[in-house]
């Protein structure tokens, strides 16, 4: 019994250490240069539009993977958590809103993406690579690899990041509450998802070899998302 308790404590500490490691430059979303430029009002309108388009395209690709979390879940506890994520993302059931892709489109339209372009947004290489990596994790690795790559590495960073982003979009770019609702909803939704990811990992991951591999997964996912958000900085 003593050994088991000690192992669980070590696993929980591993999760905390992994979360802290994601705050390094190149993996941190809250301190990403694009977010800092938005906060300062320095990101141009064309750059903000590209930020919106590539974020929209990439997140919309993830919608088809939500069901895999339900299918691949090993037991009732994990299935219930996967179901909660599914009904919120697809229907806005918990936050009493709407499908999250629809919420994100409100932001896209607000920054100048025409409705007619919705189905014509083309992914840039960084966005395409992230989408393919996410699908690989969901289809080809154990269920908790996606939990690390999405739930911990990205959603776990969202609350702090969007706390900076939302007021800046209002103050610097004149957007309304309705136009930024996607980000506001995720202040709570992704905190819940990130907390769930941390709890499940602490419970189900115990092998040191798996921990090392999952660290690589988390760091790789965070770096790739940072690459997507760096795309606007490549244009003037």
Q: What percent of the chain has pLDDT over 90?
A: 61
Four-way CATH pick for 2-234: 3.40.50.150, 1.20.910.10, 1.10.3720.10, 3.10.20.30:
1.20.910.10
* pLDDT per residue rounded down to tens, the chain (236 residues): 333 444 444 777 888 899 999 999 999 999 999 999 999 999 999 999 999 999 999 999 988 887 787 788 888 888 888 888 888 888 988 889 999 999 999 999 999 999 999 999 999 999 999 999 999 999 999 888 988 888 888 988 999 999 999 999 999 999 999 999 999 998 865 455 556 666 777 778 878 899 999 999 999 999 999 999 999 999 97
Residue with tokens 């941190």: 28
pLDDT tens string 130-178:
999 999 999 999 888 988 888 888 988 999 999 999 999 999 999 999 9
| pLDDT tens digits, 205-217 | 878 899 999 999 9
């Amino acid at each position: 019994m003593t050994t088991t308790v000690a192992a669980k404590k070590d696993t929980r500490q591993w999760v905390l250490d992994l979360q802290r490691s994601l705050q390094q430059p190149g993996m941190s979303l809250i301190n990403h240069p694009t977010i800092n430029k938005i906060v300062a009002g320095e990101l141009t309108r064309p750059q903000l539009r590209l930020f919106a388009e590539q974020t929209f395209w990439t997140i919309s690709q993830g919608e088809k993977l939500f069901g895999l979390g339900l299918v691949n879940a090993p037991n009732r506890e994990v299935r219930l958590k996967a179901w909660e994520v599914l009904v919120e993302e697809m229907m806005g059931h918990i936050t009493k809103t709407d499908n999250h892709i629809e919420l994100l489109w409100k932001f896209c339209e607000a920054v100048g993406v025409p409705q007619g372009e919705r189905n014509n947004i083309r992914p840039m290489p960084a966005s395409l690579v992230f989408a393919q990596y996410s699908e690989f994790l969901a289809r080809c690795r154990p269920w908790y690899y996606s939990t690390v790559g999405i739930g911990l590495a990205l959603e776990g960073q969202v609350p702090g990041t969007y706390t900076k982003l939302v007021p800046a979009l209002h103050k610097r770019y004149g957007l309304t509450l309705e136009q930024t609702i996607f980000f506001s909803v995720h202040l709570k939704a992704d905190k819940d998802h990130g907390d769930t990811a941390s709890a499940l990992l602490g419970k189900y991951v115990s092998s040191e070899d798996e921990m090392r591999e999952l660290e690589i997964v988390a760091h790789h996912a965070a770096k790739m998302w940072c690459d997507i958000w760096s795309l606007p900085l490549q244009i003037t």
